[in-house]
A = this chain, B = another copy of it.
Amino acid sequence: MLRIRRCTYYKQYPFIDQITSLEKYTDLLKIESQFMKNKIIMIPHGSFVAYLGKDYDTKTVFPYFGNKKILEIEADRDLQNNWLVDSGLPTPRVFNNINSVDRPVIVKTYGAKGGYGYTLCPDKKKLKEAIAKFSGEKTIIQEYIVGTPVYIQFFYSPTDNKLEILGVDRRYETNVDGIGRIPQAFQKELFTNPSFTVIGNFPVVLRESLLPKIYGFGQSLVKSSQRLAPPRGLYGPFCLETVIDGEMNIYAIEISCRIVAGTNLFINGSFYSDFLYDKPVSTGRRIAMEIKNAIKKNKLNKILN
């Protein structure tokens, strides 16, 4: 039923050449070979990585655009956090045990996808409840930064050795983004714990003076990734989740090392890509441009895995 609904939806789009519907993600492994003759290149996206898990990393044979070694780092919240710290980015404090927590925190399981399951804990009592709820699951306990969330959509070209900002967005999360519409006098009756499930994205343009700093963050991440996942490190599209506080400090919260949903806002180019290109360049198109450029320069093997 869900599969039929999905096929119906995607069939309406004239730019899609072929739709293949699978019962489950891992069925991809069974049909890979029949596509190999078409010289397909796989473009990793979030669900893909989430649902195939380690199989995606180790078992798929499709040539794909990106560095598989980076996936392992991203998937492990501790490794990911170390990478951010290692890159010199300001990050929220991470607490290794409950007793050392001395401020409001947010608890995230390793498996949490799209913000689902994130739990905000203003005090020890709530924190203990959250940890009990997640018993057995690996979690990270992160300081909660009060401020405004901003997501930076980067692209790093290994062919041209160039970093670009292709877009910026702000996630639309439920029900946490509905709280601000409820007077405090009514909140008691209306809900207890906020949830952080991502259901969409808003475009947002950044204060210009923040951009050089954020661009530097991107450069540092690429550079340190080349030590952590040598030799290629991080390349292609990636997205840095930040929170900016009232003193304009920018904190790096999480990183996604692939095309993200927020890029859907800019399929006809963005206020940032328009500064770089004379044509509308989405992240999808940017990937295609990179692949074509690599073919032209005889460097395709440098960007595929």
Contact = CB atoms under 8 A, between A and B. Distances in A.
Nearest to A193: B183
A200 interface: yes
A60 interface: no
B178 A147 contact: yes
Contacts of A176: 181
A148 B122 contact: no
A266 B205 CA distance: 10
Nearest to A211: B9
Contacts of A246: 174-175, 194-195, 197
A275 B179 contact: no
A206 B212 contact: no
A215 B199 CA distance: 15
Given A146-B182, A180-B179, A276-B14, A205 B174 contact: no
A101 to B, nearest CB: 12
A261 B207 contact: yes
Interface stretch (A32-40, A165-173, A221-229): A165-173
Contacts of A211: 9
How big is the A interface, by class?
Answer: 35 or more
A114 interface: yes
A208 interface: yes
A43 interface: no
Interface of A: 2, 5-6, 8-10, 12-15, 47, 103-104, 114, 116, 120, 122-123, 144, 146-150, 162-164, 168, 170, 172-191, 193-195, 197-213, 215-216, 243-248, 261-262, 264-269, 271, 274-276
Given A104-B189, A200-B204, A202-B204, 12 more contacts: A5-B216, A12-B162, A148-B172, A174-B245, A179-B180, A179-B181, A179-B182, A183-B187, A183-B191, A184-B187, A199-B244, A208-B261
27 contacts: A5-B216, A10-B212, A12-B164, A15-B275, A103-B189, A104-B189, A122-B185, A146-B178, A148-B199, A149-B178, A150-B199, A168-B200, A170-B172, A174-B246, A174-B248, A179-B183, A183-B194, A184-B184, A194-B246, A199-B244, A202-B202, A203-B265, A208-B264, A264-B271, A267-B275, A268-B269, A268-B274
